[in-house]
Structures are given as C-alpha cells and as structure tokens.
Structure 1
C-alpha cells in the first residue's frame, strides 16, 4: 500500500487522541501572537492580492500537519492582518478580547451545538434566557424588558441584525393595522449620525429609499437628534399621507459617541405610533457603570434596545444583545413552523424557539460565551474595565488640551476622543492637513486611528479600548502624533 493510501486510511476527523495536542499548539500560537502583537504594523501595509502569490490556487488532496498549517498562518496570514488586538489599535470601536472570552469561544466551538429551537439543545436556549436577564439587570433596564417581566432578549451576531429584525417586526405590525398595500407609505427616521447599517436594514425590509429620513444634527447640539426636529419631520410626513413607522435613536454614535435624548424622542414617537429602537452597540456597555446609566434615561418609552458585549465587554466577537418589551411582535414576524421541527414542547407553547427571534435558522451557542465572561470576570471587574478605558481616554484628552496646536472637535463622553490640529496656512478648514496627518500616523505602522466628518470638519478618531492598551501606549501614541504634526504643520506653514 502506498503512502498516499495510508494517509487516507488513517484519516479520523474527530480524533480525541490528538485533540489535546493539536489544540494546545493552536493556543500556544495565540498566546505567542498576543505577546508579539505589538511588533507588527497595526494596519496591514500589504497591497491587495498579496495572498494569491503565497497560497496555492488548488486545494491540497492530502492532509497537511498542524505544525505546517500553523507555520503558514504565521508566515502568510498574520502579516496580512490588521491587528485589532494590538495595544496600539485605536481605530473604529474595539473588538475586546479576554481569556474568559476565548475560553467561551473554544467551548462554544467544541460543543458545536446548533440551538435553533429548545428541543435541539435545551441548555442553549435556557442559558440564553438567563444570561439575557443578567445583562438586562447589569444595565438596569426596566422590568418589562426581562423575561420575568413579560419582555425578553436574544443574542445576535451584530446590532445590524437587530435593526433588520426589529424593523421587520415594526413593519408587519403596521401593515396588519393599515393594510399590506401601505408598505410604500411607511417612513423610518434616523439622524445624519445614525449608523449606516440603518439604511441597509430599512431597504432589506422593503422601505422605499425615499422614505428613509436622515434628520440633521448640529455641532451646537453635539450632533444629537432633536425631538423637535423629529416631530417636525413626522408631522410633515403625516400631512403627505405617509405613516411614521420606526425611529432609531443612538447611544454612542460611531462618528463621535453622541447620545440622542431617548426620553424626548420616545415621547414624540409614542405620540405618533412609531416604534422606537435604541442602538447602544458601543456605549451601552458603559451603562453597566452607575455613573453612565443616565444615558439610557427614557428607555422605558422604547420598544427595543441593542448593545454589543463584543465591542467593549471582553466578549470575543461575535455577541450582540437585543431586548424587546413585546417579543411576540418579533416572533409573529419571523416565525416559521415546518413539520420537520415540530415537537411536543413547541406545540404546547412551553418553550422559546430562538429561530423565531432572528433571521437565520442556525445559531451559535453565544450564551455560553457571555455566561463564562460574566462568571469568570464578575460584574465588578467588568465595570472596572470600562472605567479604566475611560480614564485612559481622559488622560489622552488632557494631553490634547495641553498643546495649543490641537483642539477637540466634540466633547468626550466615553473612551472615544475626536480631535484635530488647528488649521494653519492655506488650508483654511484644516481638513486636508488633518487627513494627511492621519495617513502619516497610520502609515508609520506604530498606531492606527480612523476619521469622521463632523459638521464638515475632518476629525481624527482615537478609540481606546483594546484589551492590552495601557497608559504607556497612550504616551507612545501622543509622541507619534506630536512628531507627525510638527512636520505636517511646518510643511503647511512654509507653503
């Protein structure tokens, strides 16, 4: 028998005899990666298509060793990563990680259950119910959002999925009331700071693009959505025979972490029968701290709220929590009852079947991961983690205020600092210079930040929250910014 046939004969896809040694090699690789991550350029410097020249265009016919695969990851994949876990990653919002989160991910993958309904894995459903109530209590949400209060929650992969699902529920509820031909009359409302996924979600559920309202905000109001602006827009639409459907308020916008006034917007939306959703994907995490809970004031007036523990609560990606006051609206919109999934528990209505709370049928055991993070860390340490990142942001903010060449573009609320170099020379707006300054910083490989346009102003976003970031990394970042700014300002001044 030749060696090729021997390899085929020996193949065992789930071999418990080698599982420990193989996964240990993977864990060792990850541990070394975290130890070394600061050595890599934070933003990938390679050109598009780099991997084509390194990986064969034909799949291997025979198995490769784990050692060879891990070697290839180190030499071919890691150089092509943007290193989200680098302590010098200050772009977007963080994808926080922890030992507990990684442990949860390993156990979730190892057990590999697909809990689409209760009978498919009772523990997966029941743990999710418990953990969603845990998180609701950490956020001090009103009782009506908890299962014990008639509401309930579900874990999605992202806040974008939560938008699609709640929009579908709001749509079907409205069409049942007004008639299914009225879909062309339904209008949804967000601000010019609302996450762009809101537009995609609205289109996915059939809202005509011309009925997606993007309401203006201003720097004088810290880019918050005004209830008066919302009221005026709704009344203008009603006068045209349109039907207000859905208002998306944000706690912690992506561009600047502005916070919409939930209470005021909720009162307006309620007056006109519109569904109110709160997208608190990032800043909702901070609301487990008592001193930041006030940003959720008025949440008792809304229909749904979502936040992402994978952004800031040490829960490895992906994990997004959605709560509803009336889950029946969601289930009525998304439920399916195929014969193949029928079972006694479902037929009796004694259980939750989470397939009816989401877009897909299949679902991961995310509840296990979040349960492990909360259990292993404890709420006190999770609160301390949030506070620590905010203290680092306050420190970075103080450095900016001490240098007269720089200014804050908006007040800091959480752990995002939006700043810029003041305009000099021929660049009256300062936008071009700051754009080039940001590219100077990112091209160095020593740090990575992104930008936002706020009221026509190019702002550099420094989002602090990577799990490995410490004060010395903030000092290093500030030295880099000052060095690049000195050169950039000198170039513009001479010009």
Structure 2
C-alpha cells in the first residue's frame, strides 16, 4: 500500500472489485431478497476504524460477511417491491468512468465535457421520447440530470415561485401561495412545499375524478377559482404520469389547460412511467405535455441506469437559473459572463455535481434505443401475463386496472372486505418472509392491496411464474 494514488495498484484492486461485483450479480438469485436481521446487528458486526492501512481483501471479506447478508437485494430478479432500481452492469461501468475522470461539473468552465455531453444526451432523449422541441436547448428549453424526482420537484417549485413573484427571493414567501396535488401525488411534492417554507396550508389536495384515482380537472378548476377569489395565488400544479400506489395517469392536457388559465406552473411527475414513452405505443401517456412547464422521469427506476439519475426538462431554459443562480466572485469566469454556455449549478440546489450523463450514455451505447424499448416492453408483457393469471383465479382480484408493469391485487376469501384485507396482508408478509420474493403494499380506497412492480434488470418469465405460484400457495394457506 502507498500513501498516494498508484494507477498500477488501482489496476490490480479494480480487477478484484469487478470480479466481486460480477460474482455477486451472478449469484444474486440465491440470496433471500429481503434479509432477516435485527436493528443494530450490522453496526455491532463492524470493526472499529483502523489506525493503519489494511489489505483491500479485508474490505471485500467484510462485504461478504456483514453487508451482503444484511442487504435488501434490489437487483434480484425476484424484487417486485416499490418501483425498480435498475443498476445495470453497463451503467456501473459508466459510473466508474465518471468517477475516474473525477470531474466537478458545477460550471461549464470547470468541465466543458461534463456540461455538453449532458446537454446533448438530454436533447437526444427528448427526441427519442417525442417530447416537444420546446424542451430542447435548440427550442428554448433544455434538460438536466438531477439526483432524484424529489429534487426535480423542488427546483420546479422554486422556479414557479419566482415566476409568480420575482420578489420572493428578496422578501421571502408571502403565505398566499398554493400548490395543487392529488391524494396519490408523491410525498416529494409535500416535502418540496415544506423545504420551500410555504407551510402545510399551501398544499391543496384536489379530489379525484368520480370512479377513479386521477386528479379531477373540474375539481382543480373549482379549487383554483376559489383560491383566487380569496386572494390567494396558484403557483404550481403537479399531475402525475404513473402514481406510486396504483400507476394512475392524470389527464395532463385538461389539467394543464386549467392551470394555465390561472397562471400556475405545471410540473409533470412521470418518475416511473415516463420512460415508457421511448416506445411509440406508450406515447399517449404524454398527451398534453406540450402545454406544461417541466417534465421529470427517472432513468434510475426503469431505464437500466444506476441511481442517481432523474431526467428533468423545462420549457424555459432561463427559468431555473432565474430562481437559483447566485454568483460569488470566485465563480465568475469569461464563459459564464458571455451567456454562451449552460452552468448546470444554476439548475439544481447543490453547487457541485457529478458527471451523471456518462452512466446513462454508457447504457444507451451498450443497449441502443431498441434495446431499451425491448427492456420496457418485456416487463409490460410479463405484467400482462400475470394480469391474466390473476383474473382467472377466483382467490384473487385486481384492485385497479394494470398500469404498464404494475399490478395491484388482493386476496378474496369470500368472507367480506375486512377478512380479505387481513388475508392480503398475511399473504404478502409470508411471501416476503420466505425470501423468495419481495413485495410492497398500498392502501387503495381504504383497502389493503399488494403491489407487484415488475422491472428488475434480470427479471424473466420464470421469476414472475415463481412469484405467482408462491402467491397462490400462500393464499391457499390463509
């Protein structure tokens, strides 16, 4: 071991690390998807920090002994909980290249390549998803890679606040701002309202349309009109394309038309489902997006790219810098002053930023757009097959219609809703306890449901079939 970076030492150690990752991924299906550990057990198994350098093999041994047995294996082909977290091996290689370059891409001047590769990638992806030209840099807008959809929502809200009242930066919020969501909108919007200092009263939960879970444009119009009449200011509306609980798609076009009449910013949260627009047959999901101000979807959920990589596009390239730019003297430089470059530090909350575009570019390079479409289509087809099995089994029912690769189902006991809910919970808990798969739940219309989100990188027909057989076996036992 040396006291400075040694490329030859790195070469040897990197081979060991790559071998460890490859072996872990090759054997991941043999691990229980969710570990059975007690709180504090991991910390108690870790040794104190060493005073002297240690062999790198000792760290790999600690991973095998302590970390892997206590990990939830998000990359397991039998992971069906929450939404997928696609950390494909190609994206890991891109991440390694990014880390190897060690760029700090806060300004164009600090890494021109970091900035312009990201600009190019975001414009190309906008075209591949058939987003309006207005969301590209050539069209007056542009895209950036944030760390998460939560950050995307926050910066969109800050831009909306600035547009509604440019004086808020100096004077602070006035207390009359209102943000409109549905009951199924992701909690990140409520957190963004909190972080922005608007207070809980600023968040307005709009009723769903009758007979469904989508945000009602009519109820939104009534809520916004009432607020305006009361002297309040509509600032932002957030329709969702693919809600977390049920995969519901809000009617973006009608919502945007209502919001624009009242002068509110429209931010679309399509964190999970938006990437499906790479497939022409799913582009109806984006109906009305040409009317909105910002659009977000996550590459790290269903597009084979390791966390973190949230894709955010805005119609007005000046909107985020107007709300977020602060320029101390030590950041001033000729390129920024010229106005000819993009400084991505003005498109996010942190100053510093990583070269995230490389890992996504590595994925597209390795798979091609057709490969990405095949990845998405394969999971949708598996979900459709599972949907048919559920419909044919009287012990189960779908709680809501399937949404792409997400199903919400419950157990039917024939003994009433309370018994059905208890059985559904018990079935899910028994599946998870078995280690054979990992599921999560939601409460839909007051009823407990099992969510099956198909989307792990290596999930195939055999894994979905094994899950279904396990669900059937557990349902027969309750």
> Above 0.5 in TM-score?
yes
1:251-290 aligned within 5 A: 251-290=241-280
Distance between the aligned counterparts of 2:171 and 2:49, measured in 1?
Answer: 50
Distance between the aligned counterparts of 1:403 and 1:168, measured in 2?
Answer: 49
**Cα distance change on mapping 1:423 and 1:218 into 2, 3 Å:** farther
Distance between the aligned counterparts of 2:136 and 2:73, measured in 1?
Answer: 37
Q: 2:189 aligns with which of 176, 194, 198?
A: 198
**Cα distance change on mapping 1:182 and 1:28 into 2, 3 Å:** closer
Q: State the match for 2:286 in structure 1.
A: 296
The answer for unaligned runs of 5 or more in structure 2 is: none
**Cα distance change on mapping 1:181 and 1:427 into 2, 3 Å:** closer
Shift of 1:268: 0.1
Q: Is the 8 A contact 2:180 2:236 kept in 1?
A: yes
Shift of 1:428: 3.6
Distance between the aligned counterparts of 2:102 and 2:290, measured in 1?
Answer: 37
Q: 1:385 aligns with which of 351, 375, 379?
A: 375
Q: Is the 8 A contact 1:393 1:416 kept in 2?
A: yes
Distance between the aligned counterparts of 1:464 and 1:103, measured in 2?
Answer: 24
Distance between the aligned counterparts of 2:100 and 2:20, measured in 1?
Answer: 18
Q: State the match for 1:38 in structure 2.
A: 29
Q: Is the 8 A contact 2:173 2:197 kept in 1?
A: no
The answer for unaligned runs of 5 or more in structure 1 is: 1-9, 489-495
Distance between the aligned counterparts of 1:181 and 1:164, measured in 2?
Answer: 16
TM-score between the two structures when normalised by the length of structure 2: 0.97
The answer to whether residue 146 in structure 2 is matched with residue 156 in structure 1 is: yes
CA deviation map 1:186-219 (0-9, x unaligned): 0000000000111000111121211201122267
Q: Is the 8 A contact 2:94 2:359 kept in 1?
A: yes
CA deviation map 1:100-159 (0-9, x unaligned): 211101111111111100110110001011001011111101111100101011110101
Q: Is the 8 A contact 2:397 2:412 kept in 1?
A: yes
1:61-72 aligned within 5 A: 61-72=51-62
Q: 1:110 aligns with which of 100, 105, 118?
A: 100
SS in 1 for 2:109: helix
Shift of 1:97: 2.4
Distance between the aligned counterparts of 1:13 and 1:334, measured in 2?
Answer: 38
Shift of 1:337: 0.8
1:101-140 aligned within 5 A: 101-140=91-130
SS in 2 for 1:118: coil
Q: 1:53 aligns with which of 44, 55, 59?
A: 44
Deviates most, 189-198 or 429-438: 429-438
Q: State the match for 1:408 in structure 2.
A: 398
Distance between the aligned counterparts of 2:335 and 2:100, measured in 1?
Answer: 27
Q: Is the 8 A contact 2:141 2:313 kept in 1?
A: yes
The answer to whether residue 238 in structure 2 is matched with residue 248 in structure 1 is: yes
Q: Is the 8 A contact 1:175 1:183 kept in 2?
A: no
CA deviation map 1:230-289 (0-9, x unaligned): 111111211221111100010000001100001000000000000000000100011110
Q: State the match for 2:207 in structure 1.
A: 216
Q: Is the 8 A contact 2:173 2:198 kept in 1?
A: no
The answer to whether residue 20 in structure 2 is matched with residue 20 in structure 1 is: no
Q: Is the 8 A contact 2:209 2:216 kept in 1?
A: no
Shift of 1:183: 2.4
Shift of 1:12: 3.0
SS in 2 for 1:217: coil
Q: Which has the larger radius of gyration?
A: 1
Deviates most, 412-421 or 97-106: 97-106
Q: State the match for 1:233 in structure 2.
A: 223
Q: Is the 8 A contact 1:183 1:206 kept in 2?
A: no
